Amino acid sequence: MHKNSGSGEQRADYVVVGAGSAGCVLANRLSENSATQVAVLEAGGSDLNFWVRMPIGYGGAFFHPKLNWRYSTEPEPELGQREVYWPRGKVIGGSSSINAMVYIRGQTEDFDGWEALGNPGWAYRDVLPHFKRMEDNLAGADDWRGEDGPITVSPIGASAHPLSHDYVAAGQAAGLPHNADFNGKSQEGVGLYQITTRSGFRCSAATGYLNPVRRRQNLQVITHAHVTRILFEGRRAVGVEFRRGNSLQRIMATREVILSAGAVNSPQILQLSGIGEAGHLKNLGIDVVQDAVGVGQNLQDHIGYDYIYEANCPTLNNVLRPWVGRAMVGLRYLLTRGGPLSLSVNQGGGFIKSSPDRDRPNLQLYFSPVSYTRATPGKRKLLAPDKFPGLLIGVSNCHPKSRGHLHIRSSDPFAAPVIRPGYLSEPEDLDELAEGAAMLRRIARSEPLAKSIRREILPGADVTEMGAIREDIRQRVGTVFHPCGTCAMGPDPAAGAVVDARLNVHGVSGLRVVDTSIFPRITSGNLNAPAIMVGEKAAQMILEDMG
């Protein structure tokens, strides 16, 4: 990196805050030109970690203090005042290093909807080339899919548990169409998920984008760098301040500061830096740079619940629970990079309409040949399932109407923000989740899956009345770890938009946000693929603007 000979101050053309799903893309694409100096600051450390690299290891990473921010929400009124655990990646690769690896782009209508909200260039036809460029789909390329890109997308049909295939067949028997590719022409139907693995290892954004270019002379990656604020000269962002160990340091940006710190940390850093709702910032003693009412607002997340069944045949419980079983699958993984440890436990899935009058799928299905009846929602240990053979079928909402918010609680950059997701604050969200319960049971009663099920454990076969089903959902529903929207993209800051369609922060210069926080509306399904796409599209726009 450049150093100012007078002050010893570090400088780069672009300073990227966060080496997560989008930040890794920016690091790679912006540094392709050897004349462009790029610095990336990451609060966490190396992704060379057992719990990161082994695919099923994400169960260990969910609670690991060195890999995870380990946030919790405030008590949620509609969930019986429960606090909900929010794991967020604090490691090179960000949440792509600790997620369940399910690869889902979203529906065509999601991105067309972004454009319709006043964001030109974000329709599906515009983002599809970026999705294709970023992936190496091992099932091959076609009109919708790409190959030879940085992110390896692996089909799991040959290695999925036999019960996962039975689930797909049962879904078809229950009246759902088969879908061999949820990222193809249509998302609707039931099938097996594709996951981001390569040769038996996790393929995170770091694996695909950052690690192969770490030796570029014009790219500096600074780990354990906790950004405390953005530095401004007037209304222009000119650098960032960060703490590394006991040292408070600065790095200046000659072109732009780019926040890619995620749906929690990007709005947190903006507020700490004086960009947010003016009254709140003044109350905390923070000088206001830009009164931006939308920062931290528009918080969206998918939530879901599982129906858990005892099986009368072996499931992954029989393999992962006893130490002998774990030793055997561990040895298999070491020798072949195959077996259960090379997969996600989310093997089957689907996208369905909760009622025939829906114009597109509004619910996502999950099937896992494993069960966890004693785990707190969102906190199950993947290598410690139930002692009996079990399986689960789950459902989450694709297009929640509920909105929440988050905000800093003090001017202390090390204090976790106040997170209020507002789950089920819109009654329609509970209605459609409750409608999904009938499909879960219809699949469980359909062959060939039905022959392997002994009984329904949770919520139990006696829970049949709609009021009881809805109450069970309130008690057991939890996040599926897809927060977004807290720095929403849009044309009107007075209406809550934080960034414009080129991801520049409204009202200031030299500052962009590039991560899932810019989603004006949440996409249908898992968010890692669209987060990486945002990184690809942003890199193109930044390079265009650089000329």
Catalytic residues: 482
**3-state secondary structure (DSSP) of residue 327:** helix
Q: Transcribe 199-252 into DSSP letters.
A: TTEE--HIIIIIGGGTT-TTEEEE-S-EEEEEEEETTEEEEEEEEETTEEEEEE
Compute the distance between CA of residue 228 and CA of residue 386 in angstroms, rounded to an integer: 43
Compute the distance between CA of residue 151 and CA of residue 153 in angstroms, rounded to an integer: 6
| Of residues 85, 515, 508, the one with CA closest to residue 273 | 508
Q: Transcribe 479-547 into DSSP letters.
A: E-S--B-TT-B-S-GGGT--B-TT-BBTT-BSEEE-SGGG-SS--SS-SHHHHHHHHHHHHHHHHHHH-
Q: How many CB atoms neighbour CB 519 within 10 A?
A: 26
- Partners of 484 in beta bridges: 300
Q: Nearest 5°: CA angle at 275, between 274 and 281?
A: 55
Q: Residue 302 class from Cβ within 10 Å (0-12 exposed, 13-18 middle, 19+ buried)? A: buried
Expressed in percent and rounded to 5, the helix, strand and coil fractions of the chain are 30, 25, 45
Q: How many CB atoms neighbour CB 140 within 10 A?
A: 9
Compute the distance between CA of residue 308 and CA of residue 412 in angstroms, rounded to an integer: 42
Token readout for 164 is 């996962």
